Structure 1
Amino acid sequence: QVENVKMLDRYTNRKAANGTLYLTATHLIYVDASAEVRKETWILHHHIASVEKLPLTTAGYPLLIHCKNFHVAHFVIGQEHDCHEVYTSLLKLSQPVKPEELYAFSYNPKMSKENREMGWKLIDLKVDYQRMGIPNDYWEITDVNKDYEVCNTYPPEIVVPRAANKAVVIGSSRFRSRGRIPVLSYLYKENNAAICRCSQPLSGFSARCLEDEQMLQAIREANPGSPFMYVVDTRPKLNAMANRAAGKGYENEDNYDNIRFKFIGIENIHVMRNSLQKLLEVCEMKSPSMSDFLTGLENSGWLRHIKAVMDAGVFLAK
C-alpha cells in the first residue's frame, strides 16, 4: 500500500487524481481519494505488458504501465523507495517464470467440484459439428489426434473427409509444419462448401508427399458440385517463396489435382505488431490536430492491414 500517489490523465490536461495504490496477489488497485464518489482502477497483473520507470519530475517518481488490453496507467509516486518497490513487485507478478506461479494454480474457488467441472463443457465441438450437419456422407469426426499425438495445437477430435483414412491423415501431418494437417473449420451444408485450415507444407523447392496430395484431393471430392478447389495462402508471395529456402513454402500446383492457388498478402505477426504499436502511439497523442492524427494513422499502415484481412474474408465468402 502506497499513499499519496498521483494518477495522470495522458490524453487531456485534466488535473491529476490523488489516491492510494494497493498491490494484491492478483491486481494493482488504485483508489482515487480526491473523487467525491469512491473511484477504483483495477489492473490485473497478467494484463500488464510493460512497466517503465520514467525520469524524476518535480511531482515525484513516474511509473508508466502499458497493458495488453491497450490500457495505459501513468502514476507518480512521492518516494523513490516506494516507486522502486512497486516497480520490482509488478515485474515479478506480471512476468511469472513458471506456470505454477500463475494465480490460477493457487486460486481456490468457493464452489463445488461439480460446478467447476462444468467449465469444461461450456464449448462442445461435437454440438457445433452437428449444427453444420457433421458427420455426413462426406465428412467424419475422427479421434486420430487423441492425446494430441498428431498435432498438439489441434483439438483431440477433428473433422476430415471420409475418403481420407488414418494413414493419409498421419502421412499428411508429417508433411505439414507442426503437424497442422488440413482439417475442416466450417461447412455450409446447403451446398457442401467447406473451409479448411492448415499450415504450410514442408515442400522446399521440390519435395512432395503422396498422402498430402491425397488429403487435398479428398477435400475437393467432398464437394461433388465443385470441379476445383482454391488453396488460399494468406501470406505475401515473397514471404512464402523465402520460406522455401528453409524447407517449407507452398503447394506446387503441378502436384495437386484441380487446385487453384491464390496469395492474399497479409503480413506476418511481427509487421502487424509493429503497425499496432504505431497506431497506439498515435492514439496516445495529447490533443493532436486532425492532420497529425490522420498522418500518424496513415504512417502506421494499420488500415491497410485490416483491409487485407477483410479482403481475404470477402474472397473466401464469395
Structure 2
Amino acid sequence: MEFIDLISINKLDGVILKYPRQENVDGTVCITGHHLILSSRKEGVRELWLLHKNIDAIEKKENKISGGITQGGSLFLKCKDLRIFQLDIGSTTELHQVAQTLENLSSLQDPSLFYPFFYRHMHPIMENGYTLYSIEGEFTKVLASEEWRVSRVNQNYSVCASYGKAVVVPKSIDDETLAAAATFRQGGRFPVLSYRHNNGAVLLRAGQPLYGPKHRRCRPDEAILNTVVNAGMKGIIYDLRSSNAISQQQNKGGGTESAANYSQWKIYNRSMDDVDNQQQLLESFSKLIEACVDRDISSDKWISRLESCGWPESVRNALHTACIVAQHIHQKAEPVLIHGTRGEDATLLVCSLVQIILNPDCRTVRGLQALIEREWLQAGHPFGSRLRCGPFGAQPRAAPAFPLLLDCVRQFLEQFPCSFEYRQAYLVALYEHAYASQFGTFLCDSDQERQTRGVYDQTTSIWSWINQPDELATYLNPLYEPTPNVIWPSVAPMSYVIWEELYLRWLVEQRTESREEQYRAIRAREQQLRAQALAARRELCDLAAQYYAHAPTEQ
C-alpha cells in the first residue's frame, strides 16, 4: 500500500486554524504520509506539524446556510497529547476530502507504516538506547549473590510470547522446570524476579495460575515460589483482583493459588480491577479529560466531577497498593509475588511503584528509563494496543495504564520535590512519545513483535535522544538531592493533585511562578539562614575563647 492511495487532497489554501489562547491563523495545509502541516505567510507564526498518529478523533461540522445548503465547515482534531484544533475550511467538498484523508492516515494499524520507520535522526547518536539496559547489567548485584541466574529459556519466545528473551530466576530452578511452570500461568508468564531489596527480600511477578474448576496443580510452579522463601518464614501473594473477578476467571480456567498447595505463602486480594479492566480505565481517563476541557462550570462542581470520574481513585489505589507491598518487603523482609489476570497492566504498575518507593536509583533519569525497559517493555506491556487511542477515542484493548504510572510518579514529585533527578517535563515527554513519536521505543505489543518487525534495527530509541547532554538538561531537577531513604507517599484523598502541567496545559495559562521556583527560593533562604547561623556560632565560639583566655584563673 502507498500513502498516496490514502490521500484525497494533499494541499489546501485558505484554511483557518483556531486554537485556545492563540490568534487565528490563516494558512495553507499540506498533508504528507505522516504529518499534517499548516503554515502561514504571516511573520512570527510558527508552522504546525502534527503527526497523524497523534490524532485521536475527528469531528466534522458543516456550515448550514439558507435553504439547507452547506458551505464548508469545521474539522475538530482531538489529539492524544490533549490538544484540540479547529480547522475552518470554506468548501464542503474539500472539507470532506481533508476529513477522509486524515481518517485514513490516522487509523493505520501496521507499525511498519508509522513515522519511526521513516524518521532519520539529524545528529550523531552517542549511544544506542536499545542496548543500554540489558538484564545482566540491570541485575548485576543480584546475579553476584549466587542465588539467582539469567535464564534464556525464552530465547525464541516459545515459552512466553510476551516476555523478553532473558529473565532472572532462582539459580536452583532449571529451564525445564520454568517451561513446565509456564503452562500453568496465563500467557505463559511464569514467576520471574522483578526486584531484590537491600535486605534480601524479593518482588516477583507472574500471570494468574490456570487453576480452573478442577483445581489443577503444578509442582514446578510451586517449586519456583518455595525456593525464595526462607525457613521459618512465609511469602506473600497479592492477587490484584476482586473475589468476584477471580471467580469469573476460575470459570474460564483461571483462578488464584490454592492455600493447600502453596502452604508457604499467605494469599491476599487487593483489588485493582479498575486498572486491569481496559474499558473501565479508558472511560475514567476520558471523563477526566472531558472535565478538564469543560471549563464553564463552577469550581465546586468541577472538583466533584474530577473526583467522580474515577481517575484520582485509581491513582490513590495504585499508590496505596504499592505502599502495602513495599512494607512487606522493607519492614518485614518478606518475599512478595504479584499478579492479576495476565499480569500486563496492574501488575507492572504496582511493581514499578514499589521500586520507586524502595529504590532511589529509580528516581534518576536513567533509573526511570531502566525501570520502563525491564518492567514495561521487556515485561510485555502491549503498548501498541493499549495506546492505540487516547481519551477521545475508543478502541478494543486500549487503556492508559502507562499514563496512569506517569501520573502516579507525578504525585511522588509533588510530595518529594527534592528526591527525584527529573522534573515534570520528563514525564510529559514520555507521555507524548508513548502515544505518537518519531522514535520506535513504544511501538508494538512485545519484545518479540519489535524484534520481528525490525524496530531495533530500523528505528531510533527515545533514550538515545533524551540522553543527549543538551536535551537531558531540560529534564533535570535543580533541587535534586540524592538520598538512599525509602519514601512513603501519602494516599489520603486530599493528597491527590491534578496534573495541571499535562491535563490543563493547553487550556489555561500556567502559573508564572512554578512550584520549582518557589522551592528554589525556599532552599536559597534556608541556605542563607544556615550560613548566618554558622557565622553566629563561630562568633560565639570566638567570644568564648577570648573570655576564657583573659579570665582570672581560680586560686
Q: Quick check: 1:251 aligned with 2:257?
A: yes
* SS class of match (2:39): strand
Instruction: Give distance in 1, aligned partners of 2:41 and 2:296.
Output: 27
Instruction: Give distance in 1, aligned partners of 2:225 and 2:216.
Output: 16
Which residues of structure 1 form unaligned runs of 5+? none
Q: Give the TM-score taking structure 2 as reference length.
A: 0.52
* SS class of match (2:142): coil
Q: Quick check: 1:22 aligned with 2:30?
A: yes
CA drift of 1:69 comes to 2.6
CA drift of 1:310 comes to 0.7
Please name the residue that 2:88 is paired with: 76
Spell out structure 1 runs of 4+ moving beyond 6 A.
Answer: none
Q: Quick check: 1:3 aligned with 2:13?
A: yes
Task: Supply the AA of the counterpart residue of 2:270.
Answer: I
- Which residue of the other structure, out of 127, 151, 155, is the alignment partner of 2:137? 127
Please name the residue that 1:164 is paired with: 173
Instruction: Give distance in 2, aligned partners of 1:37 and 1:110.
Output: 25
Please name the residue that 2:218 is paired with: 209
Instruction: Give distance in 1, aligned partners of 2:121 and 2:315.
Output: 40
Instruction: Give distance in 2, aligned partners of 1:64 and 1:219.
Output: 55
Instruction: Give distance in 2, aligned partners of 1:271 and 1:236.
Output: 15
CA drift of 1:4 comes to 2.3
* Contact 2:62 2:92 (8 Å CA) reproduced: no
Q: Tell me the percent identity.
A: 27
Instruction: Give distance in 1, aligned partners of 2:313 and 2:184.
Output: 33
* SS class of match (2:156): helix
CA drift of 1:154 comes to 1.0
Of structures 1 and 2, the larger Rg is shown by 2
CA drift of 1:80 comes to 1.6
* Cα 1:19–1:251 shift into 2, 3 Å: same
Please name the residue that 1:227 is paired with: 233
- Name the structure where helix makes up a greater proportion of residues: 2
Task: Supply the AA of the counterpart residue of 2:247.
Answer: M
* SS class of match (2:128): helix
Task: Supply the AA of the counterpart residue of 1:150.
Answer: V
Task: Supply the AA of the counterpart residue of 2:51.
Answer: L
Question: Over aligned residues, Cα RMSD in angstroms?
Answer: 2.5
- Which residue of the other structure, out of 102, 108, 115, is the alignment partner of 1:96? 108
CA drift of 1:151 comes to 1.0
Please name the residue that 1:239 is paired with: 245
| Residues 220-252 of structure 1: per-residue CA shift (max 9 Å, x gap) | 24xx6x711111112222212211111111111
Please name the residue that 1:37 is paired with: 44
Q: Give the TM-score taking structure 1 as reference length.
A: 0.87
- Which residue of the other structure, out of 281, 298, 309, is the alignment partner of 1:289? 298
Instruction: Give distance in 2, aligned partners of 1:15 and 1:117.
Output: 41
CA drift of 1:15 comes to 5.7
Q: How many residues align?
A: 308
* Cα 1:275–1:57 shift into 2, 3 Å: farther
- Name the structure where strand makes up a greater proportion of residues: 1
CA drift of 1:138 comes to 1.4
Which residues of structure 2 form unaligned runs of 5+? 1-10, 66-70, 328-555
* Contact 1:135 1:141 (8 Å CA) reproduced: no
Deviates more, 1:195-204 or 1:55-64: 55-64
- Which residue of the other structure, out of 176, 179, 188, is the alignment partner of 2:185? 176
* SS class of match (1:147): coil
- Which residue of the other structure, out of 34, 56, 61, is the alignment partner of 2:73? 61
CA drift of 1:24 comes to 2.0
Greater relative CO (CA pairs within 8 A, separation 6+): 2
CA drift of 1:314 comes to 0.8
